[in-house]
Amino acid sequence: MSVRQGPASLLWLTSLGRMELRLPLIAAAFISMAAIATGQFAIYWQWRGLSERTSLLGAVYLDNLSANVAPKVARHDIDGAALALRRTLNYYEGIRDESLFLLDREGNLLAQAQRGGVPAASTVPPDIRSAPFGTLDVPSAEIAWVWRPLVHEGETIGTLIAALDVAPLYERRRALSGYVMLASLAVSVVTAVFGIWIIRRHLRPVLTVTKHLEAVAAGQLADIAETSSDSETFATLRRAFNQMVAAMRERESMAKRLGEQSRAAVLGRLAATIVHEVKNPLGGMQTAVETLKKYGGDGAVREEAVGLIERGLETVEHVIDATLDSYKLPDKRRPLTARDFEDVRTLIEAEARQRDLIFIMDVHIPNEIAVPAVETRQVLLNLLLNACRATPRDGAVSLGATVVGDKALFEISDSGPGLDPDAERALCAGEAAEGGGLGLSIVHRLVDRLNGTISAETVKPRGTRIVVGLPLTPEDVTHDRV
């Protein structure tokens, strides 16, 4: 078997092979990106929640401190308020305060308490003095500033400010971010591997069919074997592929059988053609031999009989060579001469005498015309012998020849019943006639190879008229006589 694989199919198979690698990798990349993005989103919300919790803790812290400090400030007990601030620094649980500040209504410092050498009023961020309350994170210093107005009996009497140490919270936040990142990477790797496995599992039918298609392209027809793990989709695809392979095998087998039958038919037709075409010149040579036996002593008769035998042998040789070469005509051919018409007269008159027929030849051509002699003799002899066989006793067969312009016209007439449809198709269209008619199809092929024309008509009341037109081709003939 020979299967040609075009550039398009090669490109398709190569692309499919690349897809086997690229598609799982692309899926794994998307899964990893999704997992990492999800982790980053979780970290963002965790940081945001931590800031909100810091604000809430600061507000609760200042609420408790405000309840202790506000009455002292209202009584102008600044020393008591400062003492309350210092005592607050000594008691903490969970969240550690670094500095406490107490400002009056105008933002002037009334009292402060600090832990670890934090400068006093100069360390208070400027935004705090302009805003009544709020929270300010300073990540670089791991400090959270919280402040609120100091209210006593519905009247704002100052501002309370606290600097809270949130380093432990930031540390836990960084650790949590690392854990989330590692978890995201682990999830992405696991899901990517699982995704690759799933994709390859679903690609298996396509990859299996692709592998077998490559084998088909290499000339190997192999079915896809059934396995217990086949899915319904793969089973359907496998059956379709195996049916295609079975059809290709059947087509190859049928093509092989048809090729053998065709070769046998060609050989049979070749043999039949050679036998049919050789019979005509053999009949002429047999007549010449009989003439030599009877009148061999006459030099003129002997010369004419020997010439007829020589030309008959030339015709036999040409018929065999041309038939074996699929009727390919030689490059140079002998022109038709008056001697060829005399040979035709001799052969057909002998046939006509045996059948009690009258043969009439009316030839009006020069001594030599530029049409191939051997092929033209074959055409004329075939047509005239068929005309003799179709004409009843005491009938007439005639041959006319003339040159009109650049064409030689040959007319064969008989007084037979006319051509039947099968014979007419064989002569004019080259179709093999039922039950014989091989000579007529050979005539058609010869005329066609000479670029000639042929027509047939029934003549009333009885008879057939066939006209053959052959173009004059002086460049295709030589002038060597036989």
Q: Residue 412 is encoded by which pair of tokens?
A: 């064969």
Instruction: Answer whether residue 436 shows pLDDT above 50.
Output: no
Mean pLDDT of the chain: 75
Calculate mean pLDDT across residues 212-237.
72
Sign of the Cα torsion 285, 286, 288, 292 reads positive
CATH number at residue 61: 3.30.450.20
Instruction: Give tens-digit pLDDT for 234-290.
Output: 777 777 878 887 877 777 777 666 656 555 555 555 555 665 566 667 767 777 777
Within-domain flag for 102: yes
Within-domain flag for 312: no
Q: Residue 7 is encoded by which pair of tokens?
A: 């550039």
DSSP string, 274-293: HHHHHHHHHHHHHHHHHHHH
Tokens 């930031």 found at? 170
User: What pLDDT score does 228 carry?
Assistant: 66
Within-domain flag for 296: no
Within-domain flag for 97: yes
CB distance 70 to 150 below 8 Å: yes
Within-domain flag for 273: no
Closest to 181 measured CA to CA, from 81, 48, 36, 390: 36
E strand or H helix that includes residue 302: helix 299-324
Domain that holds residue 140: 8-174
Backbone angles phi and psi of 9, in degrees to 5: -70, -35
Distance from C-alpha of 466 to C-alpha of 288, rounded to nearest angstrom: 28
> For residue 129, how many C-alpha atoms fall within 13 Å in the half-sphere facing its CB?
12
Question: Three-state SS for 300?
Answer: helix
Give Cα 145 to chain centroid, integer Å: 72
Q: Confidence band (pLDDT; 50, 70, 90) for 357?
A: very high
- Residue where a domain terminates, one of 159, 174, 189: 174
Calculate mean pLDDT across residues 111-132.
64
Backbone angles phi and psi of 155, in degrees to 5: -120, 135
3-state helix, strand, coil in the chain (%, to 5): 60, 20, 20
CB distance 316 to 377 below 8 Å: no
Dihedral angle of Cα 280, 281, 285, 286, to the nearest 10 degrees: -20
- Residue where a domain terminates, one of 117, 148, 174: 174
CB neighbour list of residue 145: distance below 8 Å, 6 or more residues apart? 124, 125, 128, 135, 136, 137, 138, 161, 162, 163, 164
Instruction: Give tens-digit pLDDT for 376-432.
Output: 988 998 899 889 988 999 999 999 999 999 999 999 999 988 888 888 888 887 766
State the alpha helices, DSSP H only, in 109-166.
126-130
The Cα angle at residue 473 between residues 314 and 360, in degrees rounded to 5: 65
- Residue where a domain terminates, one of 174, 205, 236: 174
Distance from C-alpha of 256 to C-alpha of 251, rounded to nearest angstrom: 8
Instruction: Answer whether residue 156 shows pLDDT above 90.
Output: no
Instruction: Give tens-digit pLDDT for 175-213.
Output: 777 777 787 777 777 777 777 777 766 667 666 777 777
Calculate mean pLDDT across residues 446-472.
90
State the helix-helix crossing angle for 232-295 and 338-354, rounded to 10 degrees.
Answer: 90
User: What pLDDT score does 78 carry?
Assistant: 86
Dihedral angle of Cα 189, 190, 193, 197, to the nearest 10 degrees: -160
The Cα angle at residue 173 between residues 167 and 175, in degrees rounded to 5: 105
DSSP string, 154-165: TEEEEEEEEEEE
CATH number at residue 482: 3.30.565.10
Distance from C-alpha of 433 to C-alpha of 81, rounded to nearest angstrom: 134
Closest to 208 measured CA to CA, from 190, 235, 187: 235
Q: What is the greatest pairwise CA distance in the chain? A: 177
CB distance 435 to 447 below 8 Å: no
Most confident of 42-51, 89-98, 347-356: 347-356
Backbone angles phi and psi of 477, in degrees to 5: -125, 150
| Domains contained in the chain, number | 2
Distance from C-alpha of 112 to C-alpha of 106, rounded to nearest angstrom: 16
Tokens 């990106």 found at? 33
Sign of the Cα torsion 383, 389, 390, 395 reads positive
The Cα angle at residue 31 between residues 30 and 32, in degrees rounded to 5: 90
Instruction: Answer whether residue 6 shows pLDDT above 60.
Output: no
Q: Residue 396 is encoded by which pair of tokens?
A: 């007439």
